[in-house]
Chains A and B, each alone.
Chain A
Amino acid sequence: MPRQCNICQTARAIIRRPKTGQRICKECFFYVFETEIHHTIVDNRLFKPGDRIGIGASGGKDSTVLAYVMKTLNERYNYGLELFLLSVDEGISGYRDDSLETVKRNQQQYDLPLKIVSYEQLYGWSMDSIVETVGRKNNCTFCGVFRRQALDRGALMLDLDHIVTGHNADDIAETILMNILRGDIPRLSRCTEIATMGDGYIGRSKPFKYAYEKEIVMYAYLKRLDYFSTECTYSPNAYRGYARQFLKDLEAVRPSAIIDIIYSGEAMKVAENVKLPTMTSCERCGYISSNSICKACVLLEGLERGVPKMGIAKASSKQIEQDAPEVARRGKAVEPVHFEKLREKALNIRKQRMLNAATSSCSKDTALCECTGDSCQ
């Protein structure tokens, strides 16, 4: 005999909800999933009407569902947001090129403007060429550091107010556990924040902070969303693997564990006498940094000078200097555009847009069209 949905008591239950263990029907699942995201957005006041929001889109399940849900909620609850897809091309052949095809299809399906920024274009190095130099170990550090900046650069090119990323509850819980295990106090206090101000110009937030990974997959599956699912071809982060496995086990013991961990993480308070790094901007590129030169610039310098261990290995800077080859520069890198310049450009786009809006009744702005092309820098 088919089971009834625990929520509506009428339709046939087709899934067991990972978060609560309830047996529910498809429509009720969509309702609870979307409403929880809506609560997250409203309770935390993530956006204000008229905001231009970039959705960090990789083509994977999280960002595909994020784009779909953001579009749905924006229409349903009249958030008044302007949505954009923002993708980063790391230059990993056999992985990112395929997933970007998915993003391009999503652009068509959801009818949202798309902007792609590539490592090659921003830094002069693609991940493939970085791995060639660095090897398979530690390359995730480069990718992660560069991606964070790349998203902000892309957002400035489009003059966005805010970037949303598809980090889900599992990611956050895992990060909390990992930061306790590694003793990373600054990150432990930061990782539970749902919205961060970033460099003070573009905010960032994670609307899926409380959404279970399994439910995101379920949502994508039931809505038949088009997403790309393959692991990155380069090695995964080994230490995170331990935390991930532990989290999966915890979830098996008690399904609410993931959200319980986030609750715990939010309640933790770093003692007042613990020194936390203060944020300044990088001398070279103007990006937010806790040191005088940001990690991305240090890593880039290392790449250029042929000492890729710079900024990664624990070796002293003296040792690194000694190991540096005679030829100072390989001449491969592009000098990254200074953030001040990008901000100036963004301001100009904004002015232009306002002007256009004032002069013409047509709401489509020319400044935007100028900037959605792939080759735009």
Chain B
Amino acid sequence: MCDTSTLDISAAAEAPSRRKAVPGKCIKCKAAKPNVAIRRIQYCRQCFVKASVTKFRMAVGKSRKRVAWPRTKVLIAFSGGPSSSAMLRLAADLQNMELKGTDAMPPFLGAVVGHIDESCLFPSCPESNICAIAANSGIQLETLALEHVFLPTEDHLALLELVQTALAPGAAKEQLCVRLSKPAKDASCAEQLQTLFSNLKSPTDKEDMLQAIKTALLVQLARNSGCGAILLGDSATRTAVKAMALTGRGRGFSLPLEVGAESQWFQDIVAIRPMRDFVAKEIAFFNRWTRQPSAFVPTFTTAEHRRASINRLTEAFIVELDQDFASTVPTVCRTLQKLETRPDALAAAPCLVCGMPAEPDAHTWRTRLTIDSNVPESTPDTSENDTFDITSCLCYSCQTMLRHTAPGAQLPGFCSSRLHAAAAGSSLVSENQDRLRKQIENFIISDSDSDDN
């Protein structure tokens, strides 16, 4: 590895003389013929790869400065796509590089590649190919399959099942009620997962649920393998698309946590996004010139039209806009850097489904502004049976998703674990107490009651 000081990008930006381009030559070495132009700056092949390596290293270093995490092992999230393949390569290089000087020790104690096997939902997913790429890096690979979320564990023997609540005709169908239910005896985990996704209405909802499951599994993988940090491979292009899509799905509350360079939302695990300064084009060239293979990972909207889902639409929109206005992606990323998580979001309880902060008044906000009934403040009758109203434990966006979900859908196991954790904490307990109180209301005597009452 060459001397890093000559590759320091920010230092180059500060010194204008070194920044000066020699016409027709690479901006860095000023000798070779350029091979690629990234945002109108021309690089030769070698300098481009070197600059990418440095950029990645600086991104990790900067995150480290902002959020000091203990030196632990790191989980490199790896889907098999171009961005995470590039990240795997860069992170492996960073871990394996020769140590020079005192401060040049690798930022992590060790690394594990974490992969979520999606072949249950996408049979065309090239799983063996993806595992081969991961094996190539020489780092230990840990895999969890999506259907793993339905494996019974000690935390959740029963699953949450959405139930149709009996409401007066014309009353708001706002409440989301669940009951605890056992999974069907003869159904395998994979079948349960497929049933869940077939109960979700639109591709947008399916994408949301898939994202929620993958996040939960990655965190679980990190904990299982003793990692204190996760590297996520969101590129700049992906970050911009994600930010716009999250905005469109009503996730502004948790947005800074979901796209930020680093987030400590998962308490014991820091999530870092070191690829967020790389636009898609850079990643494509990096992979090509370092012969880093990557796989094609199918999604719910692969080969669908642009209005198939919010994610698909947003991606098409950002990519097109970026062609007309070349700085769109970096501008959106800069905007995001200036946003921060609200203090009430950090204090909020995690949403049962997505695990991101669930804002307490989301439900009221919606019902005040979207009236869909003429029965004021109707509450479903939950006193007789074992159903819970979980609306207050869900974030705004997951409320939207579940309102579209068919009754009878069984939610992943981590949802019931989270509900248990929340109930142990507070809110539901008091709600249940209220319910009990209501049942015995007539028998409680208060001071204000007159004698003849």
Instruction: Kindly identify which residue among A7, A9, A254, A267 contacts B359, using a CB–CB cutoff of 8 Å.
Output: A267
Chain B residue at minimal CB-CB distance from A274: B338
Q: Is A133 an interface residue (CB 8 A)?
A: no
Query: Once the chains bind, are A268 and B255 in contact (CB under 8 Å)?
Result: yes
Contact of A183 with B248 at beta-carbon distance under 8 Å, contacts A8-B170, A22-B372, A39-B368 already known? no
What A residues does B246 contact at CB under 8 A? 264
What A residues does B170 contact at CB under 8 A? 6-9
Query: Once the chains bind, are B250 and A180 in contact (CB under 8 Å)?
Result: no
* Chain B interface size, under 10 / 10 to 19 / 20 to 34 / 35 or more: 35 or more
Query: Once the chains bind, are A36 and B340 in contact (CB under 8 Å)?
Result: no
Q: Is B198 an interface residue (CB 8 A)?
A: no
What B residues does A182 contact at CB under 8 A? 331
Chain B residue at minimal CB-CB distance from A179: B335
What B residues does A28 contact at CB under 8 A? 374
Q: Is A370 an interface residue (CB 8 A)?
A: no
Query: Once the chains bind, are A271 and B339 in contact (CB under 8 Å)?
Result: yes
Contact of A263 with B332 at beta-carbon distance under 8 Å, contacts A9-B170, A36-B370, A269-B339 already known? no
* B61-92 Cβ-contact flags toward A at 8 Å (1 or 0): 00000000000000000000000000000000
Q: Is A19 an interface residue (CB 8 A)?
A: yes
Closest chain-B Cβ to A134's Cβ sits at a distance in Å of 23
Instruction: Kindly identify which residue among A43, A210, A261, A271 contacts B338, using a CB–CB cutoff of 8 Å.
Output: A271
Instruction: Kindly identify which residue among A19, A185, A188, A257 contacts B310, using a CB–CB cutoff of 8 Å.
Output: A257
Query: Once the chains bind, are A272 and B374 in contact (CB under 8 Å)?
Result: no
Instruction: Kindly identify which residue among B250, B256, B332 contacts A260, using a CB–CB cutoff of 8 Å.
Output: B250
* B354-384 Cβ-contact flags toward A at 8 Å (1 or 0): 0000010010011011111110000000000
What A residues does B307 contact at CB under 8 A? 249, 252-253
What A residues does B339 contact at CB under 8 A? 268-271
- Tell me what chain B mostly uses at the interface: helix, strand, loop, or mixed: helix
Closest chain-B Cβ to A97's Cβ sits at a distance in Å of 36
For A9, A43, A269, A272, the residue with the greatest tally of chain B CB atoms inside 10 Å of its CB is A269
- Tell me what chain A mostly uses at the interface: helix, strand, loop, or mixed: helix
How far is B339's CA from A200's CA once the two chains are assembled, in angstroms?
27
Chain B residue at minimal CB-CB distance from A266: B252
Q: Is B95 an interface residue (CB 8 A)?
A: no
User: B224-271: which have CB < 8 Å to A?
Assistant: 243-244, 246-253, 255-256
Query: Once the chains bind, are B250 and A181 in contact (CB under 8 Å)?
Result: no
How far is B429's CA from A199's CA once the two chains are assembled, in angstroms?
49
Q: Is B31 an interface residue (CB 8 A)?
A: no
For A19, A43, A257, the residue with the greatest tally of chain B CB atoms inside 10 Å of its CB is A257
User: B294-334: which have CB < 8 Å to A?
Assistant: 306-310, 313-314, 317, 321, 324, 328, 331-332, 334
Q: Is B169 an interface residue (CB 8 A)?
A: yes
Q: Is A32 an interface residue (CB 8 A)?
A: yes
Q: Is A163 an interface residue (CB 8 A)?
A: no
Query: Once the chains bind, are A253 and B310 in contact (CB under 8 Å)?
Result: yes
How far is B338's CA from A268's CA once the two chains are assembled, in angstroms?
10
How far is B335's CA from A179's CA once the two chains are assembled, in angstroms?
9
Query: Once the chains bind, are A267 and B342 in contact (CB under 8 Å)?
Result: yes
Contact of A254 with B202 at beta-carbon distance under 8 Å, contacts A8-B170, A270-B338 already known? yes
Query: Once the chains bind, are B317 and A246 in contact (CB under 8 Å)?
Result: yes
What A residues does B370 contact at CB under 8 A? 19-20, 36, 256, 259
What A residues does B400 contact at CB under 8 A? 254, 256, 260
Closest chain-B Cβ to A362's Cβ sits at a distance in Å of 40
Closest chain-A Cβ to B276's Cβ sits at a distance in Å of 15
How far is B341's CA from A263's CA once the two chains are assembled, in angstroms?
15
Query: Once the chains bind, are B335 and A183 in contact (CB under 8 Å)?
Result: yes
Query: Once the chains bind, are B373 and A210 in contact (CB under 8 Å)?
Result: no
Closest chain-A Cβ to B77's Cβ sits at a distance in Å of 25
Q: Is B204 an interface residue (CB 8 A)?
A: yes
How far is B376's CA from A7's CA once the two chains are assembled, in angstroms?
12
How far is B400's CA from A256's CA once the two chains are assembled, in angstroms?
9
What A residues does B388 contact at CB under 8 A? none
Chain A residue at minimal CB-CB distance from B168: A9
Q: Is B391 an interface residue (CB 8 A)?
A: no
Contact of A35 with B371 at beta-carbon distance under 8 Å, contacts A9-B169, A253-B307 already known? yes
Contact of A253 with B334 at beta-carbon distance under 8 Å, contacts A28-B374, A263-B396 already known? no
Closest chain-A Cβ to B137's Cβ sits at a distance in Å of 35
Query: Once the chains bind, are B243 and A180 in contact (CB under 8 Å)?
Result: yes
What B residues does A274 contact at CB under 8 A? 338
Chain A residue at minimal CB-CB distance from B317: A246
Instruction: Kindly identify which residue among B310, B374, B397 contacts A7, using a CB–CB cutoff of 8 Å.
Output: B374
Query: Once the chains bind, are A270 and B253 in contact (CB under 8 Å)?
Result: no
What B residues does A8 contact at CB under 8 A? 170, 374
What A residues does B255 contact at CB under 8 A? 264, 267-268
Chain A residue at minimal CB-CB distance from B334: A183
What A residues does B332 contact at CB under 8 A? 180-181, 183
Query: Once the chains bind, are B342 and A269 in contact (CB under 8 Å)?
Result: yes
* A25-50 Cβ-contact flags toward B at 8 Å (1 or 0): 00010011001100110010000000
Chain B residue at minimal CB-CB distance from A182: B331
What B residues does A36 contact at CB under 8 A? 368-371
Query: Once the chains bind, are A269 and B341 in contact (CB under 8 Å)?
Result: yes
What B residues does A179 contact at CB under 8 A? 335
Query: Once the chains bind, are A250 and B310 in contact (CB under 8 Å)?
Result: yes
Query: Once the chains bind, are A180 and B247 in contact (CB under 8 Å)?
Result: yes
Query: Once the chains bind, are B306 and A249 in contact (CB under 8 Å)?
Result: yes
Instruction: Kindly identify which residue among A6, A185, A249, A264 contacts B335, using a CB–CB cutoff of 8 Å.
Output: A185
Query: Once the chains bind, are A264 and B369 in contact (CB under 8 Å)?
Result: no
Q: Is A265 an interface residue (CB 8 A)?
A: yes
What A residues does B253 contact at CB under 8 A? 264, 267
User: A221-273: which have CB < 8 Å to B?
Assistant: 242, 246, 249-250, 252-254, 256-257, 259-261, 263-272
Q: Is A282 an interface residue (CB 8 A)?
A: no
What A residues does B328 contact at CB under 8 A? 181
Closest chain-A Cβ to B251's Cβ sits at a distance in Å of 6
Chain A residue at minimal CB-CB distance from B333: A183
How far is B169's CA from A8's CA once the two chains are assembled, in angstroms?
8
What B residues does A260 contact at CB under 8 A? 248-250, 396-397, 400
Contact of A263 with B169 at beta-carbon distance under 8 Å, contacts A22-B372, A180-B243, A181-B321 already known? no
Contact of A265 with B247 at beta-carbon distance under 8 Å, contacts A8-B170, A272-B340 already known? yes
Q: Is A176 an interface residue (CB 8 A)?
A: yes
How far is B331's CA from A242's CA once the two chains are assembled, in angstroms?
16
What A residues does B341 contact at CB under 8 A? 269
What A residues does B340 contact at CB under 8 A? 269-272
How far is B251's CA from A271's CA once the two chains are assembled, in angstroms?
17
How far is B365's CA from A40's CA once the two chains are assembled, in angstroms?
10
How far is B321's CA from A188's CA once the two chains are assembled, in angstroms?
20
Q: Is A55 an interface residue (CB 8 A)?
A: no
Known contacts A39-B371, A253-B308, A263-B250; 20 additional CB pairs below 8 A are A7-B170, A22-B372, A28-B374, A32-B371, A32-B372, A181-B244, A185-B335, A210-B369, A253-B309, A256-B250, A257-B249, A259-B250, A259-B370, A260-B249, A260-B400, A263-B365, A264-B248, A264-B249, A264-B250, A270-B340
- 10 A-B residue pairs with Cβ-Cβ distance under 8 Å, sorted by A, are A36-B371, A181-B331, A253-B309, A256-B250, A256-B370, A260-B397, A264-B251, A267-B253, A267-B359, A268-B252
Please name the 7 residue pairs, one residue from A and one from B, whose CB atoms are nearest each other, closest first: A264-B252, A260-B250, A267-B252, A267-B253, A271-B340, A264-B247, A183-B331
On B, residues with C-beta under 8 Å from A are 169-170, 202, 204, 243-244, 246-253, 255-256, 306-310, 313-314, 317, 321, 324, 328, 331-332, 334-335, 337-342, 345, 359, 362, 365-366, 368-374, 396-397, 400
